[in-house]
Amino acid sequence: MHAAAASLPFDVERLRSEFPILGRETRPGVPLVYLDSAATSQKPRVVLEAMTAFYEHQNANIHRGIHRLAEEATESFESARRRIAAFVGVSDAAEIVFTRNATESINLVASTWGRTQMQSGDLIVLTEMEHHANLVPWQMLAAEKGLRLAHIPVDEGGRLDLDAYRELLSRGPRLVAFTTMSNVLGTITPAVAMTAQAHDAGALVLLDAAQSVPHLPTDFGALNADFAVFSGHKMCGPTGIGVLHARRELLEAMPPYQGGGDMIKRVSLTSFTPNDVPHKF
């Protein structure tokens, strides 16, 4: 299959024509060239048309109405959840939580699982190549709860020092959180092996897959991490949508992240009962 794909001609102009923004010129006669997809990707026409079609034909609150538009919008929303689950190798679509982006997904884990499960003195292992989104939430949690942070070094070739990683695991961390592909270096980390080693050491694992999901076939089931996150806007999707994948038993035990709307099953003036997973989030 890969050999067949490699033999196909790469039609640059046809590909460019799928992205309306690439039809503009930066100055007369000079077409736009965009090289910042690691930050955010441009949107193909099919995505823009799908977004417009929703607002023109289906716009309604999901899970909040019994009229036809609400039912259609809810089915579209849940269909997207099922398709995304299949896309990243997750068999239980209820383990897919929609957020605003990968950053919010990490903050959700830090604010719910981290705040309730970690105790003063617990160790979190990160790496020196992490995006701010996978550093600052843990720094904030560490300051709040008296946690310890340690970082896997990066060698001169841009690779993680795996000997240092094994030494850090010997210290008994509660959580290991690392990128599957560096947004700066492009380094692809050995996520399967690192996750298995962390589990053997008794730690849970969070994967920042914001860069790898757009570029590599991804099977979260095979990666076997406890948490994994990515963003739509880095993979030709709209801004403002992200994904948290977490094992169902962890989601069940985690408290709600934010209150209001459809995250409740029952509410009174003085108390509420959280909704089921994934709607609790």
Q: 243: pLDDT confidence band, cut at 50, 70 and 90?
A: very high
Mean pLDDT of the chain: 95
Per-residue pLDDT for 205 more than 50?
yes
- pLDDT score at 262: 86
Q: What is the pLDDT of residues 138-184, one digit of tens each?
A: 999 999 999 999 999 999 999 999 999 999 999 999 999 999 999 98
Q: What is the pLDDT of residues 24-53, one digit of tens each?
A: 999 999 999 999 998 999 999 999 999 999
Mean pLDDT to the nearest integer, 52-69: 95
Contacts of 211 (CB under 8 A, 6+ apart): 38, 179, 180, 181, 182, 183, 234
Give the closest residue to 95 by CA, choosing from 254, 260, 274: 254
- pLDDT score at 1: 42
Per-residue pLDDT for 4 more than 60?
no
Q: 281: pLDDT confidence band, cut at 50, 70 and 90?
A: very high
- The residue extents of the domains of the chain are 92-264
Q: 7: pLDDT confidence band, cut at 50, 70 and 90?
A: low
Give the per-residue SS3 of the chain: CHHHHHHCCCCHHHHHHCCHHHHCEEECCEECCCCCCCCCCCCCHHHHHHHHHHHHHCCCCCCCCCCHHHHHHHHHHHHHHHHHHHHCCCCCHHHEEEECCHHHHHHHHHHHHHHHHCCCCCEEEEECCCCHHHCHHHHHHHHHHCCEEEEECECCCCCECHHHHHHHHCCCCCEEEEECECCCCCCECCHHHHHHHHHHCCCEEEEECCCHHHHCCCCHHHHCCCEEEEECCCCCCCCCCEEEEECHHHHHHCCCCCCCHHHEEEECCCCEEECCCCCCC
Q: 3: pLDDT confidence band, cut at 50, 70 and 90?
A: low
Q: What is the pLDDT of residues 45-60, one digit of tens each?
A: 999 999 999 999 999 9
Query: Distance between CA 108 and CA 104 in Å, rounded?
Result: 6
The torsion of the CA quartet 98, 104, 110, 111, rounded to 10 degrees, works out to -80
Q: What is the β-pairing status of strands 272-274 and 242-246?
A: unpaired
Query: Distance between CA 131 and CA 11 in Å, rounded?
Result: 33
Query: Distance between CA 202 and CA 254 in Å, rounded?
Result: 19
Of 58-67, 83-92, 158-167, 224-233, give the lowest mean pLDDT range. Answer: 58-67
Contacts of 216 (CB under 8 A, 6+ apart): 181, 188
Query: Distance between CA 88 and CA 46 in Å, rounded?
Result: 21
- pLDDT score at 2: 52
Mean pLDDT to the nearest integer, 211-217: 96
Query: Distance between CA 33 and CA 48 in Å, rounded?
Result: 20
Domain 92-264 has CATH 3.30.230.10: no
Mean pLDDT to the nearest integer, 96-109: 98
Contact present, 233 and 239 (Cβ < 8 Å): yes
Amino acid 230 reads: F
